Chains A and B, each alone.
Chain A
Amino acid sequence: MKSSRTLKVDYLARVEGEGGLRIKFKNGAVTGAHFDIFEPPRFFEAFLRGRKFWEAPDITARICGICPIAYITCACQAMESGFGVKLNAQLQALRRLIFCGEWIESHALHIYMLHAPDFLGYPDAVAMAADHPSIVQQGLQIKKLGNDLVALIGGREIHPVNLKTGGFYRVPTRNELFSLSDRIKSACDAAYQAVLWAATLPFPDFEQDYEFVALHHPAEYAIMDGALVSNRGLEIQISDFEHYIQEEQVEHSTSLHAEMKGRGAYVVGPLARFNLNFKQLSSLALQAASEVKLAPVCNNPFKTIIIRSIEILYACEEALRIIENYERPAEPAIALKPVATTAYGCTEAPRGICWHRYRLDENGTILDARIVPPTSQNQKTIENDLLHFVRRNADLSDEKLTWMCEQVIRNYDPCISCSCHFLNVKIEHDATAKK
């Protein structure tokens, strides 16, 4: 018998950014689970002070190379609503279209390159491709389509240049958008097959009681607009976010932890959106969900790989719908006239809600800014999941338990670069522990 057991991953792989994990055991019982974030802080909220309102989209995009559209759109919409301007339907649709591209690209990256190898026991997608070439190739092609959609509208995949407060620098022609239609149609077929494939993966029996938080819009599967709702009765305007949610700094993390005041941890992202907005999915997405017998409430975070696949299918169908109805706007953007105000924005980044608040003076200069990314909101839930998972599975070997703990974290597709504005797994046993 060993007196202490240490499972340790110093730098968690297949997540975006730098972080680690520590699990502490005392007398064989788990006493703590920490999801450590050591991504160096970059101080976005500080250097946004003194910048002009129209600079916020491009600057905040640099918080995350994987979901820049979520940041750009969030900053744009904050400024627009702060100045009392609403984009016309076509400009808004074009924004939703490029956002669909980001969901497709980011979800495909996570499903095929970061998450699926866990389920099938491979260290990475390249190793997985040797045995499952058609699945990996299919995933890469779906991902490429998402990127091509972003690049067509935005100029490039990462940190696109064509979005701005008030709209776009240049709006695409109908023919330019139609050039992608056939590929999106084939991606719909591939995405449907992908949902069926994802449902065949082996899922641990792990159901937890969560509070899910997502944007909800009466007319559509919310991506950029709506009120914030939860399965426990939260129903608030995005401007009321700070009255209900607080961020706390913890010693082991350069990312702030968010929690619902008086209620604690909550979940944002695909699991929350699926459970709260299920009925608003598109027809094929609903059909695929029904075929794999997945319906709300899904309380198993390992199954997010199926839900991401369903959301890819949704995003493809939605992209087709938008393209078919597209009429090129007469003006690429609406002029904004700044006023002194506090401006709020909230978008559904692929990993969950991204919330911005800016205080602006009458010249449109940013006086202060606050940005709450999705990963800092999921961090507390991730630590809870780790604790519960390790309690139930303490009899697994160190190697297996460590890998499973990594997977518990990857279920949330954490974006550590975002949350610092995080992974490393370490399991420590104190006294009389088991081997």
Chain B
Amino acid sequence: MQPKRKPKMAVWKFASCDGCQLSLLDCEDELLAVAQEVVVAYFPEGFRKVIKGPYDLSLVEGSITTPHDAERIHKIRRASKTIISIGACATAGGIQALRNFSNVSDFIRIVYAKPRYIETLSKSTPISDHIKVDYELRGCPINKYQLLEVLSALLNGRKPLLPAYSVCIECKRQGHVCVMVAHGTPCLGPVTQAGCGAICPAYQRGCYACFGPVKSPNTQALSSWMGDRLGMEPADLLRAFRVFNAYAEPFRKESETHEI
């Protein structure tokens, strides 16, 4: 029997903080083993050597914010069999999508003295707005064990096991006392997709939705509850939904209902 060809993996970066691809380098115990199973063909953050495509697997970090990047992502799609977008920037536009609610030319003027050198799009958008994405890993940052699960599943030809329920389920399974019911701490856990390990409630903090909206979230009910019982003002509710996944549709719509 002929030995199986190792799949070629590439890691691409768009507008981001580098934290999600760093998650791969942060797999200190597993990194060398993963590198045995794949050919790391393109991963500039850690590897100098570049091997040309096509690629079996592309991890894409970051959001699309420039005309050049809007072109580049299509080239990556054409060169890749499977694409996994990783993190809140790639799956929802990230914190830089806060520009989507403002006039971007004002933003450029605030940061840069000579705006004419700066080329940027008016919106920061997720990868799936531009190309077909095969899998998405949520989080700001992603959970490295979810990344290992997806890599391992794809290398073994099975479907990755990724939770589609809310942070509340993860939180209750771990036996944490509800920070909202017991302590009156605002928490976005009910409307947020699981995967982080419910770390905020474990540290006596309310979830701030860095994994983005769970499927069919009842954001309106949560807003009413936090408004009526916890005394949050519309401006507070707007801010709560408008952070790292501000441009994910359910959160975008909910935040817009609290605009004054």
Contacts and interface: CB of A to CB of B under 8 A. Distances in A.
Given A14-B46, A157-B26, A41 B111 contact: yes
Contacts of A114: 46
Given A12-B44, A65-B141, A158 B23 contact: yes
Contacts of B102: 46-47
A43 B254 CA distance: 24
A412 to B, nearest CB: 16
Interface string B195-228: 0100110111100101000000000000000000
Contacts of B205: 161-162, 169-170
B244 A123 contact: no
Contacts of B31: 126, 140
A415 B45 CA distance: 11
A158 B120 contact: no
B114 interface: yes
A11 B118 CA distance: 19
A379 B136 CA distance: 35
Nearest to A424: B44
A112 to B, nearest CB: 10
Contacts of B104: 43
A43 B203 contact: no
Contact of A155 (B114, B118, B199): B199
Contacts of A169: 200, 203-205
B13 interface: yes
Contact of A62 (B13, B17, B112, B239): B17
B201 to A, nearest CB: 10
Interface in A103-154: 109, 113-114, 117, 123-127, 129, 136, 140-141, 143-144, 147
Given A62-B95, A159-B140, A249-B113, A47 B107 contact: yes
Contact of A158 (B19, B208, B239): B19
A63 interface: yes
A170 B199 CA distance: 11
A62 B107 contact: no
B65 to A, nearest CB: 5
A94 to B, nearest CB: 13
B26 A161 contact: no
Contacts of A45: 110-111
Interface string A173-206: 0000000000000000000000000000000000
B239 to A, nearest CB: 7
Contact of A14 (B32, B44, B210): B44
A254 B118 contact: yes
Contacts of A39: 15
Contacts of A155: 199-200, 202-203
Interface stretch (A52-60, A217-225, A235-243, A389-397): A52-60
Contacts of A161: 199-200, 203, 205, 208
A18 interface: yes
B28 A123 contact: no
Contacts of A66: 18-19, 22
Contacts of A434: none
Nearest to B62: A40
A251 interface: yes
Nearest to B236: A52
Contacts of B14: 40
A62 B244 contact: yes
Interface residues of B, number: 60
B127 interface: no
Contacts of B134: none
A417 B28 contact: no
A49 interface: yes
B259 interface: no
Nearest to A9: B48
Contacts of A328: none
Contacts of B76: none
Nearest to A11: B44
A64 interface: yes
A383 interface: no
B56 interface: no
Contact of B98 (A47, A129, A159, A162): A47
A41 B120 contact: yes
Contact of A63 (B17, B44, B120): B17
A140 B32 CA distance: 10
A114 B18 CA distance: 14
A36 to B, nearest CB: 12
Contacts of A14: 44-48
A17 interface: yes
Nearest to A172: B203
A43 B107 contact: yes
A59 B15 CA distance: 15
B203 A16 contact: no
Given A47-B107, A123-B48, 11 more contacts: A16-B18, A40-B120, A47-B99, A62-B94, A64-B19, A65-B141, A117-B48, A127-B49, A159-B19, A161-B199, A249-B114
18 contacts: A11-B44, A13-B48, A16-B22, A41-B112, A42-B96, A45-B110, A47-B95, A51-B239, A58-B208, A62-B244, A65-B17, A65-B141, A125-B46, A147-B26, A157-B26, A158-B26, A249-B113, A249-B114
Interface of A: 11-18, 39-47, 49, 51-52, 55, 58-59, 62-66, 68, 109, 113-114, 117, 123-127, 129, 136, 140-141, 143-144, 147, 155-159, 161-162, 168-170, 249, 251, 254, 256, 332, 368, 406, 415, 417, 421
Interface of B: 13-20, 22-23, 25-26, 28-29, 31-32, 35, 40, 44-50, 65-66, 69, 94-96, 98-99, 102, 104, 106-108, 110-114, 117-118, 120, 140-141, 196, 199-200, 202-205, 208, 210, 239, 243-244
